[in-house]
Structure 1
Amino acid sequence: MIKVAILTVSDKGFRGERIDTTSSAIKEVLDPAIYSIEEIRIVPDEIEDIKRELVRFCDELKVDLVLTNGGTGFSKRDVTPEATMAVVEKLVPGIPEAMRAKSLEITPHAMLSRAVAGIRKSTLIINLPGSPKGAVENLNVVLPALKHGIEILKGEASECARKDD
């Protein structure tokens, strides 16, 4: 099982002014036979709050995958990528590159995403858009590679080459 935490970054969601539908949409996409949702949290768009939850998910809960949603745009309050980069030890640029490339087929606004992905200890953190549609579209881009990547991260697999390579 891949243990997952979902972190919604939203001032309005945190204050109860907006219902968080994005984390539910993300949860629906993850096959329960493969992914175990350990926790879902909402924090405001505050860099220290985001960092604190990311560290807690990685270091205390020891989840394999953290999926954030929200806070990846151009607004002054959008600081999820900065919080993520502050806590990860390695960046994984291919993940947001792939998400943006595929999203550009749908909307030119995809190039405005500042999402990042990275590794802290044995946890992969991926920033997703805040909208349910955008989060699901982006997650679906990376799902085919996630299981294998996390197996490598956990030391359960050692090769990235396909058998037919």
Structure 2
Amino acid sequence: MKTTRIGIINVSDRASKGIYEDIPGKAIVETLKEYITSDWESEYAVIPDEQDQLEAKMKEMADEKSCCLIITSGGTGPAKRDVTPEATEAVCDKMMPGFGELMRTESLKYVPTAILSRQTAGIRNNTLIVNLPGKPKAIRQCLDAVFPAIPYCIDLIEGPYIECNEDVIKIFRPK
């Protein structure tokens, strides 16, 4: 059986230059290790807030590395250099706005500035791409909210069957 591949991209000018430690990307990996019981491996990158570089990395992970899921962190705010949603929209065939809506709804329980976030998700061929915020605490809150739908979404786009630890995350697949 083929190992499931998941792309993780931390979008950060400072982390890409080594000024900041890549805490968001590591937070995603640790969370997925808790959630997923199937065999999986990560395809990992830290890149600056440059739309062309982010688009190229997402295309590579989806098209060449066969990642069924790509999770990005950072670059979703209103600042001039925040271009993650634009890059995601540029490489996707279909947008999945419900992911962003749910993440913002969840984040509003904790901070009023969640309305400034532009998280989104989309599908490129057989790959689901989900944009998360850059703060580790918010990453976990958002993943806890949207991950229950992710394995079924991957089923629907003909990706691998992902099994999860039901004691940690209750995923939903219709019977």
TM-score by length of 2: 0.86
Q: 1:145 aligns with which of 141, 149, 159?
A: 149
Percent of residue pairs bearing the same amino acid type: 41
Q: 1:125 aligns with which of 113, 125, 129?
A: 129
- Note the C-alpha offset of 1:117: 0.4
Separation (CA, whole Å) in 1 of partners of 2:146 and 2:173 = 17
- Note the C-alpha offset of 1:136: 1.2
- Note the C-alpha offset of 1:102: 1.3
Kept after mapping to 2: 8 A contact 1:51/1:84: yes
Deviations 1:23-73 (A, max 9, x none): 111111113423623211001000100000000001100100000001000
Cα 1:155–1:38 shift into 2, 3 Å: closer
Please give the residue correspondences for 1:64-143 in structure 2 after superposition, counting only pairs within 5 Å: 64-143=68-147
Q: 1:39 aligns with which of 40, 43, 46?
A: 43
Partner AA of 2:122 in structure 1: G
Q: Deviating runs (4+, > 6 A) in structure 1?
A: none
Partner AA of 2:155 in structure 1: E
Which residue in 2 is equivalent to 1:24? Answer: 26
Separation (CA, whole Å) in 2 of partners of 1:16 and 1:90 = 34
TM-score by length of 1: 0.91
Which residue in 2 is equivalent to 1:6? Answer: 8
Cα RMSD (Å) of the superposition? 1.8
Q: 1:56 aligns with which of 54, 60, 74?
A: 60
Cα 1:152–1:35 shift into 2, 3 Å: farther
Of residues 35-44 and 62-71 in structure 1, the stretch that sits farther from structure 2 once superposed is 35-44
Q: Which runs of 5+ in 1 are unaligned?
A: none
- Note the C-alpha offset of 1:162: 3.3
Q: Which runs of 5+ in 2 are unaligned?
A: 162-171
Of residues 9-18 and 25-34 in structure 1, the stretch that sits farther from structure 2 once superposed is 25-34
Separation (CA, whole Å) in 1 of partners of 2:147 and 2:37 = 14
Kept after mapping to 1: 8 A contact 2:152/2:173: no
Separation (CA, whole Å) in 2 of partners of 1:113 and 1:135 = 12
Cα 1:111–1:16 shift into 2, 3 Å: same
Separation (CA, whole Å) in 1 of partners of 2:23 and 2:17 = 15
